[in-house]
A and B are shown apart, each in its own frame.
Chain A
Amino acid sequence: MSKLRIPYIPPSEITPSQLVLSRRTFLKSGAAALAALAAPAQARLAAQASAYSTQEPLTPFSDVTHYNNFYEFGTGKEEPAQRAHSLITRPWTVSVEGLVQKPRVWDVEALLRFPLEERIYRLRCVEGWSMVIPWIGFPLAQLLRQAEPLGSAKYVEFVSLHDPRQMPGQRLPLLDWPYREGLRLDEALHPLTLLAVGLYGELLPNQNGAPIRLVVPWKYGFKSAKSIVRIRLVEKQPLTTWMRAAPDEYGFYSNVNPAVDHPRWSQARERRIGEFHKRPTLPFNGYGDQVASLYAGMDLKKFF
């Protein structure tokens, strides 16, 4: 039996390596496109770094997304992560209305076309814990300026989605649904005030307030309304959900303030999630240099 000699031909001689590599890139980008179609929440968001970001170590993604106060999905901290899959975030619109020259109903996809920034902010919950979260979004001021607020507009009210089918926690009259929050117009226009559409480089997970939420880093976390559907400019100070629920415990301003305790617990210290020892809480959550001037001359014990 004659032996047939088969010469060894390295694969690189058959297909040039650039082609192999470009085919890989093609497959990868195809897979990424498919994944993006199948699960839009996994899409990476392009965002500019911001000078407003803190250098502090980030709270792990799993803690940011599994330790949430979002009563629309239950009062347990882990419930939002377990139950928020019922929230449908596309299509979604946000109306900017009230005392504005140009009211407009925005599609969330149009909001995603605002120039996005990554803002790494501290978040201090009124309950005494805190996190550091890399949000992605754009300053609320950009949206409000497009609406051209009238001179009579003094406050901004934020209304979250009200749909008990999507938000099972709303089947209980625990709070007066829909969730409402508010800011003074100058607070709303402050460059730190962010409309967030993502975190950790991805679209917002449902439990964190998808598809669009407010982030006001110098105020207690509950001021940062989630899953917003309406932004209304008004003349009078809005009555927020927590003010309605417990007026002696939650005020309109709710600025982080270690000197003003919650009636039932101290606000002097906080536990950063992931840390064992508590740390002192800073006035305005450490953003005093940027925002303290907004409250010059105000008695912060009275306007808590």
Chain B
Amino acid sequence: MGRASRTESVRRPRLAWLKPFLFLFALLPLARLVWLARGQGLGANPVEYVTHSTGTWALVWLLATLAVTPLRWLSGRNELVRLRRMLGLFAFFYASLHLLTYLWWDQFFDWNEIARDVIKRPFITAGASAYLLMLPLALTSTQAMMRQLGRHWQRLHRLVYGVGIAAVLHYFWLVKKDLSQPLLYGAILSLLLAARVMHWLRSK
């Protein structure tokens, strides 16, 4: 038995515990919304509350996904990569809820109005772009697709950087005046992207 597979077997239990824990944890924001909705706890404007909450959590899971690789470099724990797909799919899941809230409870599927919004309003354009860029990543997230795409898979999945930038811009352009939250998420995204640039420069 090789050395690599032995460390593998030592580390595996730890991740085996972390992954289901993270899975349940990632469902908590949704559970909370359902809980609040049942108890009239969503405030005076429930649709706005759900929109903001699902949007925020989509961004949080997206940044968590982007944090996996820098964390691998920092900790040397390459097995962290096993969490990445799940985190990315949770980002997609909350982004889908966010989009559905907008399409249904904000626009009531008025496609003319939606098209006008996407064209005329930069923050909607950015949000729509982020979602469209995410779509092929979610669709090619299976093992079979990974095998099939081979080296193209990684190239395709670099789109996630575009998703991050579009998502933060979406937040930036929608707030009325208080930029503190979008700035915070923008700063974290910049840090995560800068880590990649540094790594690339060093490995050159």
Contacts and interface: CB of A to CB of B under 8 A. Distances in A.
Interface of A: 62-63, 66-67, 71, 75, 77-78, 127, 129, 174-175, 245-246, 261, 264-266, 271, 273-274, 276-278
A77 B108 contact: no
Contacts, number: 45
B123 interface: yes
B44 A264 contact: no
A67 B44 contact: yes
Contacts of A63: 44
B176 A174 contact: no
Contact of A264 (B108, B123, B178): B123
Contact of A66 (B44, B105, B120, B176): B44
B150 interface: no
B204 interface: no
Interface string B11-50: 0000000000000000000000000000000011101100
Interface string B103-121: 0011010000100110011
A130 B173 CA distance: 23
A interface majority secondary structure: loop
A114 B106 CA distance: 43
A245 B116 CA distance: 27
A264 B177 contact: no
A224 B14 CA distance: 58
B54 to A, nearest CB: 17
B18 to A, nearest CB: 33
A77 B45 contact: yes
Given A264-B121, A265-B121, A75 B177 contact: yes
B122 interface: yes
A127 B176 contact: yes
A167 to B, nearest CB: 15
Contacts of B44: 62-63, 66-67, 77, 273-274
3 nearest A-B residue pairs (beta carbon): A67-B44, A63-B44, A75-B178
A30 B43 CA distance: 37
B184 interface: no
Interface residues on B, range: 20 to 34
A280 B143 CA distance: 49
Given A277-B108, A278-B108, A77 B43 contact: yes
Contacts of A265: 121
Contact of A271 (B47, B113, B117, B121): B47
Given A277-B108, A278-B108, A264 B43 contact: no
Given A77-B45, A273-B44, 13 more contacts: A63-B44, A71-B178, A77-B43, A78-B43, A245-B177, A246-B177, A261-B120, A264-B121, A264-B123, A266-B121, A274-B44, A276-B47, A276-B105
A271 B45 contact: yes
B191 interface: no
A278 B108 CA distance: 9
B132 interface: no
B174 interface: yes
7 contacts: A71-B177, A75-B176, A246-B177, A261-B120, A264-B121, A264-B122, A276-B47
Nearest to B173: A264
B179 to A, nearest CB: 9
Contacts of B106: 278
Q: Which of B44, B105, B106 has the most CB of A within 10 A?
A: B44
A261 B176 CA distance: 14
Given A277-B108, A278-B108, A264 B45 contact: no
